Amino acid sequence: MNKGFILSILLLAFFIQVDPASVVAGNRKKKAAKETVQKEPETKYEKLFKGKTVKTAKGLITLHQVGKKLYFEYPLSLLGREFLLGTTFVETSDNGNGAVGQMINDPLHIAFTLRDSTLQMHEVTRKWGTNPMLTDSSEEGVQKAVHVSTLPPIRYAFKVETYNPDSTAVVVDMTDFFLKQNNDLTPFADEGKRVAELGDAQRDVKLKEELTRLDDIKAFEDNISIISTETYTQDLLVNGQYLVVQDEPVTVKLNRTLLILPGEDQLMRPRLGDPRVNVVTVERENMTTKVDGSKVTHYMTRWNIQPKDVEKYKNGEPVEPVNPIVFYVDNNFPEGWSDYIKAGVEEWNKAFEAIGFKNVLQVKTFPVNDSTFDPDNMKFLCIRYAPIGVGNFKTGPHWIDPRSGQVINASIEIFHDMLRRINLKRFVQTASCDEAVRTMKLPLEKYGEGLKGMIVHEVGHILGFGHNLPASHAYPTDSLRSATFTQKYGITPSIMDNMGYNYVAQPGDKDVVLIPERLGVADYHTVKVAYQPIFDVKTLEDEQKVVEKWISEKVGDPMYRFDPEPYTLTMFDPTSLPEDLGDDAIKASAYGIKNLQYLMENMNEWLDKEDIDYTYRNMIYRYVGYYYKRYIFNVFMNLGGFYLNQHYVGDPVATFVAVPKDIQKNSLKFVVEQLKNIDWIDRPEVVENLEFDGSKARQILKDFLSKADEETDLFSTRRISLVAYRDKGNYSPEEYLEDLYKLIWEPTIKGRNLTEAERVLQIAFLTNVRNTVDINGNRENASRYYAKSQSMLQESAELVRNRQGNRIPEVSGFGSRWLVENLAVDNPNHLWYNLYLKVIEQVKKCQGSGNADTKAHYDYLMFLINRSLRS
């Protein structure tokens, strides 16, 4: 059979068995299936990013940078979790507005919720307003009432663009929040060199949105960072009305960090505060039912320091903490600084070792080639160098979890002119007994001592400790001239005292410690109170009983005495002052003034070869004037003063004790004698080569005679009246005014010629008494309050120009004291009137006597007297 025929038959049979229609249908199905896959609609998530250049950072929250836009992919699992959101300077066009690495403002405390189609941002702790509320009541109704009464207000709402592919997160556009004008995120505050140099100007800034860009995004396990470059225009106003700078451009690169706080199951157990120790606290308003009425509950601010091995710790073995406090030190510091910074930080390890920990504080330099490290990220504690002509530190603000008082983060900025500040203070306070500092350029060792001491102090603040001003009063003044004593104990029992250098030491005193650069016994005590773990207690109150026992054991010992810092409106305690030393203010100030006089006598000899244009001596002279007034003021505060104590039932110290009469009488004599003999500060061979200015002596004299300076008004009896009212046998206004009269009119009574300072004192006395008793109808208004302004607690105006204005520090000891009204018990007019009669008699008796200046002076006094007595 033909082979071709057979093949044809077989092919025909095949086609008969296979339905051509089915083949076509099969092909169509395949094509349809293929077309179905290709035409599956895009999701909103895909459309949001399709065809665009997208940079994504995955971490706690996934971030997307799409051109100029910023998107958060916010996990639903984080709804309700609490965060801190703050700003750090990365770069700046003018660090007078804020230094690189600096956190200017407190962070926002926020949380997010999802409602309908919006992601809402709540302000958990308000920046302004009442304290956060809580209740320690076990009653369900009270707890519910507090819960519904403390709803965190909604600050912002963000439209949900879409969900992510697995619906575990919502995507929202955060561009406007971070890159448009937002006062909640402003990097500026009313502080800094730019506002200080204009006399504490007010700042008004406006963001130029067209000159703002999103630079970068970063995401980590517990935080995210948004980095942007922003340009503002700022106006600076003086006294709220004088526009001295207008539309000044300021460009800054900023890092906004959103840092998650510990979850409820990870919260550090709070430790209740005690006002008898200098641990700063955060406040919560407690709707308690344990007493009748609400109360303020104070939590100590502290780091969460817990032992890695609890059993070894209980057995007394040194143990490292679970989370050490690690500081990263800027690589850009001038050569040699970092060693002293490291030593200052690690000084606190000695106190932690005393309570069983090791390596709590650690110091590292900025890592190189480490992608996980970012000095601008709030996760890292950094000590930064700021090249700015300001002699100061900037600590904080602290990032604190308000639910527990746990410190989350804090930083330190060291401004370049710490060099100048340490140099000038070392020179003015210690050059009399330390030849090595009689120079415009301190040796690194001498500068390093001062730098280390300041770092120890600032790290104390970061650990949660406030100023401990009474500490220095614990040491006998003359012991500060002893090498044996000071090398063993230092010059204060607490590095947290706000003090300078050892101005008590005199020429010829050898090997005396001059710098506060190490911990004192009070600092060891504070670390124990705040950080020693307490096991096997169930409640905060049980733990508080243990802490109170530790504190009570030290009450009554002057080495551990503490009283809140009186930095705002009231000052009562002459032992609780900044810039003082020793237990005898009169003796300490006398030593300090002798050193200033020695300095004025030798300044030109020491500096002629270096300071050829007198620039350095101009600065030194301002400091001499400041400290001279400071030393007089330290004694002046004995007048009408009280020794104050935080007092618990059973404590062996009284709440207040008036300064003894003999100390007050001797203090008045000291102050008046200094004001009479003040002309040494205008030493001609010194001032004749300095900047043209008025008399420093007359300015200081005026400060103690003018009612405009109420805190140094020598003629005010309000303080004295309060002492006499509280302590009947103490210095009375009658005794005080009689002593003041004798001291000021002594040269007239003795019939000798008067110096210019004595004439100024007598004119001030006469004018004050005349106005006080309304003899000529020119009575001056008296203050209602026994009040204290802030001026003497700060450096003088000349020194303010050399430093950046700072935020008022946190207050330890549960805040400031009440204003004390003292009008009712201060009624000295009849006393002044009797003194006026004595003055009239004395001036009449002496009129026409003495040299030409003295005669003219008495003639002028009689003119004032006669004018006041006219009907």
pLDDT, residue 21, reads 45
Mean pLDDT comparison of 569-573, 761-765, 770-774, 821-825, highest-scoring range: 761-765
> Stretch 92-109: mean pLDDT, rounded?
84
Cα distances (angstroms) measured from residue 427 to each of 99, 142, 407, 619: 28, 62, 37, 11
Q: Are 109 and 128 in contact (CB under 8 A)?
A: no
> What share of the chain has pLDDT > 70, as a percent?
86
Helix (H, G, I), strand (E, B) or coil at 522: helix
Q: What is the C-alpha separation between 530 and 166, in angstroms, rounded?
A: 46
**Pairing label, strands 202-207, 223-238:** antiparallel
Q: Are 743 and 715 in contact (CB under 8 A)?
A: no
- Can you tell me which residue has the tokens 């090249």? 387
pLDDT confidence bin for 825, thresholds 50/70/90: confident
112-121, 156-165, 663-672, 820-829: least confident range: 820-829
pLDDT, residue 397, reads 65
Q: What is the C-alpha separation between 447 and 437, in angstroms, rounded?
A: 9
Q: What is the C-alpha separation between 275 and 298, in angstroms, rounded?
A: 9
148 pLDDT higher than 50: yes
pLDDT, residue 399, reads 83
pLDDT, residue 868, reads 83
Cα distances (angstroms) measured from residue 127 to each of 105, 158, 184: 10, 21, 9
Question: Which are the contacts of 514, defined by CB distance < 8 A and separation ≥ 6?
Answer: 426, 429, 430, 433, 434, 491, 501, 502, 505
DSSP class of residue 853 equals: H
Q: Give bridge partners of residue 109 from the DSSP assignment.
A: 84, 125
Which sign does the torsion angle of CA 444, 449, 452, 457 carry?
A: negative
791 pLDDT higher than 60: no
pLDDT, residue 284, reads 87
Q: pTM for this one?
A: 0.88
pLDDT, residue 128, reads 65
Residues 476-499 have pLDDT tens digits of: 999 999 999 999 999 999 999 988
Residues 335-346 have pLDDT tens digits of: 999 999 999 999
- Can you tell me which residue has the tokens 């002293």? 340
213 pLDDT higher than 70: yes
pLDDT, residue 771, reads 78
783 pLDDT higher than 70: no
210 pLDDT higher than 80: yes
CB atoms < 10 A from the CB of 485, how many? 17
Residues 63-79 have pLDDT tens digits of: 999 999 999 999 999 99
pLDDT, residue 811, reads 39
pLDDT, residue 817, reads 60
Give the chain's largest Cα–Cα span. 169
400-404, 817-821, 829-833: least confident range: 817-821
Q: Give bridge partners of residue 658 from the DSSP assignment.
A: 642
777 pLDDT higher than 90: no
310-314, 562-566, 622-626: least confident range: 562-566
Q: What is the C-alpha separation between 782 and 754, in angstroms, rounded?
A: 31
pLDDT, residue 537, reads 92
DSSP class of residue 705 equals: T
| Residue 856, phi then psi, degrees to nearest 5 | -60, -35
pLDDT, residue 823, reads 55
Taking alpha carbons only, the member of 408, 384, 397 closest to residue 325 is 408
Taking alpha carbons only, the member of 196, 262, 13 closest to residue 801 is 196
pLDDT, residue 600, reads 97
DSSP class of residue 288 equals: -
pLDDT, residue 780, reads 46
pLDDT confidence bin for 192, thresholds 50/70/90: low
> Stretch 297-303: mean pLDDT, rounded?
94
Taking alpha carbons only, the member of 394, 112, 135, 375 closest to residue 261 is 112
CB atoms < 10 A from the CB of 513, how many? 21
pLDDT, residue 236, reads 85
777 dihedral zone (left: phi>0; alpha: psi -120 to 50; beta): left
Spell out the domain ranges in the chain. 3-38, 47-261, 705-780+787-797+818-871
> Stretch 548-555: mean pLDDT, rounded?
95
pLDDT, residue 821, reads 63
38-47, 58-67, 763-772: least confident range: 38-47
216 pLDDT higher than 50: yes
pLDDT confidence bin for 10, thresholds 50/70/90: very low
> Stretch 502-531: mean pLDDT, rounded?
96
On average, the pLDDT of the chain sits at 87
pLDDT, residue 35, reads 52
29 pLDDT higher than 60: no
CB atoms < 10 A from the CB of 798, how many? 15
Cα distances (angstroms) measured from residue 146 to each of 109, 298, 395, 516: 19, 18, 35, 47
Residues 599-614 have pLDDT tens digits of: 999 999 999 999 999 9
Residues 413-454 have pLDDT tens digits of: 998 888 899 999 999 999 999 999 999 999 999 999 999 999
190 pLDDT higher than 60: yes
pLDDT, residue 293, reads 87
pLDDT, residue 24, reads 43
Q: Are 429 and 319 in contact (CB under 8 A)?
A: no
**Pairing label, strands 223-238, 213-219:** antiparallel
Q: What is the C-alpha separation between 738 and 834, in angstroms, rounded?
A: 10
**Letter for the amino acid at 261?**
L
Residues 677-716 have pLDDT tens digits of: 999 999 999 999 999 888 999 999 988 887 655 678 898 8
> Stretch 710-732: mean pLDDT, rounded?
88
Burial category of 783 from C-beta neighbours within 10 Å (exposed 0-12, middle 13-18, buried 19 and up):
middle
